[in-house]
Amino acid sequence: MADSHTMPEAKGHNPDTDGSLPPEGELESHLQAKHMVINMGPSHPATHGTVRLKVELDGETIVKIDPEIGFLHRGFQKSCENVTWTQCLPYTDRLNYLSAMMNNFGFLNAVEKLIGLEIPERAQYIRVIGSELHRLTDHLTCVGATGLEMGGFAPFLYGMEARELIQDRVTELTGARLTTSFGRVGGINRDLPDGWADKVRKTLTRTEELLAEMDGLLTRNRIFVDRTKGTGVISADDAIDFGWTGPALRASGVAHDLRKAHPYWVYERFDFDIAVGEHGDNYDRYLVRMEEMRQSIRIIRQALDTIPAGPIIVDDWRIALPPKPEVYGTIEGVMAHFKLVMEGIQVPPGEIYDATEASNGELGWYLVSDGRGRPYKVHVRAPGFPVLAAVPHIIEGKMLADLIPTFDTINMIGGEVEQ
Amino acid sequence: MDRVSAHFPEAVVERYVDRAGGAWAVIHADSLPKVATLLKNDPELEFKLFGSMDGVDRLHLAENDPRFEVVYILYSLKRNEHVRLKVRVSEAQPVIPSLTPLYRGANWWERLVWDFYGIRFDGHPDLRRILLYEEFQGHPLRKDYALRDRQPLIPERPIKDIFRGPGTSGHS
């Protein structure tokens, strides 16, 4: 591809490129400004993912910006189409490595709807708890990194402390820190460990303290407010037109949350509010994320208090692996186990589009099954994709310094955007 | 959907409901812009949020003529529902009118479908590949593109006015 940006010819004398000394007095007269193209990335510390930004600058003003993605592309769809439905789960984890369980459960929810399967109530509660824990880690990282890149290291450390605590709980639950692969078609992998609920309650209390610290350090901080308020502004109409969802859309004043709009699992039993912003700028996106974390803590507390006893996966050997004593002791158990592992779950032919509210917005799945044990088509609607597509619209004509907070608060995730 | 059928009866090829109750409509490619305009601008409908889109290669499905399907997911905040549209195109003439003039959100999705399936969008302002590089041959999500196909590395592109730092030969 020919580079779409061409350097305009420098007009007149240019002290940066000409070898000769400038005439007497010119260095003091004014700052030389010329059009220049710079590359941010592909792995710039402020881009939260592998993305190359071709930025054309006039002085400090961004004339044109062209985000180029695809550096992390790993053939997600093609990989899924060549393994069984269950084997897709590790791939879905890696879409957004900070909220693996949400991607995992979102995919499973779509598969279960395609089968027409109702999962046990306890499994639904555990899915809600897992999702909200990972919403917390995702937002903590985003807000912490935003603070860091605006020059505040302490909020980042507080965010990391809270994230570490939550990830310890996630490790106890799932056995893995980042890529959990915790869900199974028809339920989840394991039940809650003994005494885990109390540990989580303590962790949430500590997280609330740390959130208050971050809030105190950032929300009224002069530098932070000056750099985020009124920058990266997008109106509600534009955000909708670009297909924005999640915290980025809500910061523009649209109270749209799939947990309320189309409740899935047991979300309608919990009492929580949708955080809504007003101006659609970076500051509002930060505030919305802070409030969403408090709401997530509320949801987890209610879920832990009301979780019912019962099975965590459906009792159907065509979908879930049989219990180990059955596998080792009966021929039916061995056969069911063998068929599930070798052939995969037989999802009846059909198609579906289903979406859940992931940490950055609507995580949609368009699935097609031809009934042969493997997905025929797996399409993921990553929430970051339309958000990133709108960056040229909101940043062109603004200052280079505004690009950093904008990129922080839209929270572009390479893994899901680039599939 | 009833409204679309009432307005443009000739535009709708087929309508059905999937297992989870989602409504689908298959639209003629030529009528896509006017159907989408109605869905977006009708005050009763207001499907303003461009949710998603993707292609499907139906090569190995029982019903595979025409070969490609392009799926559009639109969302209405007012009615709180998704609408799912489909357009079918043949391999010989994979061209669909672009929705980018109507929805700015369609821009990157159409580039994605072009990149992966080789379906062109008539009227798109900037139809480049999005995830793969320009020199890439073929469209990898087509079912006849082999899973383990490899493509040679491409030579470095010539870039004007590049300055390389100390320790290099200076110019590429």
Is the peptide bond preceding residue A42 cis, with omega within 30 degrees of 0?
A: yes
Q: By the CB < 8 Å criterion, does B141 face chain A? A: yes
Query: What does the DSSP 8-state code read for residue A308?
Result: P
Question: Which among A3, A70, A261 is the nearest to B80, CB-wise?
Answer: A261
| Sheet with A35-40, edge to edge strand ranges | A35-40, A52-58, A61-68
CB contact under 8 A, B128 and A1: yes
- % chain A with pLDDT above 70: 92
Side chain identity, residue A364: G
Question: Which among B52, B84, B161 is the nearest to A381, CB-wise?
Answer: B52
A98-133 pLDDT, tens per residue? 888 888 899 999 888 888 888 898 999 999 999 999
As a whole number, the mean pLDDT across chain A is 84
pLDDT at A157: 92
Interface ipTM: 0.84
Q: What is the largest CA-CA distance in chain B?
A: 71
Scanning every residue of chain B, which has its alpha carbon at the shortest distance from the alpha carbon of A348? B19
pLDDT at B102: 86
Q: By the CB < 8 Å criterion, does A113 face chain B? A: yes
* Continuous segment of H or E residues that includes residue A240: helix A236-241
Residue A202 — very low, low, confident or very high, per pLDDT cuts 50/70/90? Answer: very high
DSSP characters for A127-156? HHHHHHHHHHHHHHHHHHHHHHHTT-HHHH
Angle between helices A121-149 and A282-306 (to 10 degrees): 150
Residue B128: list chain A partners with CB under 8 A.
Answer: 1
pLDDT at A165: 92
pLDDT at A10: 45
Q: By the CB < 8 Å criterion, does A245 face chain B? A: yes
Scanning every residue of chain B, which has its alpha carbon at the shortest distance from the alpha carbon of A353? B22
A292-345 pLDDT, tens per residue? 999 999 999 999 999 898 888 888 888 888 888 888 989 988 988 888 888 888
Tokens in use for B106?
């369609």
Name the one residue in this structure whose structure tokens are 């139906």.
Answer: B58
Given phi > 0 = left and psi -120 to 50 = alpha, else beta, which region is A340? alpha
A221-267 pLDDT, tens per residue? 888 888 888 888 888 888 888 888 888 888 888 888 888 888 888 88
| Sheet with B49-57, edge to edge strand ranges | B12-17, B23-27, B81-89, B68-76, B49-57
Query: Which pLDDT tens digits describe chain B residue by residue (172 residues)?
Result: 667 777 777 777 788 888 878 888 888 888 888 888 888 887 778 888 888 888 888 887 777 778 888 888 888 888 888 888 888 888 888 888 888 888 888 888 888 888 888 888 888 888 888 888 887 888 888 888 777 777 777 777 776 666 666 655 544 4
Predicted confidence (pLDDT) at residue A59 exceeds the cutoff of 50 = yes
Per the CB < 8 A criterion, the answer to whether A62 and A400 are in contact is yes
Residue A366: list chain B partners with CB under 8 A.
Answer: 52, 54, 71, 73
A217-233 pLDDT, tens per residue? 888 888 888 888 888 88
DSSP characters for B97-152? E--TTT-TTHHHHHHHHHHHH--EEET-S----SSS-TT--S-TTSTTS-TT---P
Q: By the CB < 8 Å criterion, does B168 face chain A? A: no
**Residue B95: Cβ within 10 Å count:** 12
CB contact under 8 A, B140 and A78: yes
Q: Is the dihedral of CA A234, B112, A403, B159 positive or negative?
A: negative
Question: Which among B24, B57, B107 is the nearest to A389, CB-wise?
Answer: B107
Tell me the whole-structure pTM to 2 decimals: 0.85
Q: What is the largest CA-CA distance in chain A?
A: 95
Cα separation, A353 vs B74, in Å, equals 11
CA distance A17 to chain B (A): 11
- Exposure of A247 by Cβ count < 10 A (0-12 exposed, 13-18 middle, 19+ buried)? buried
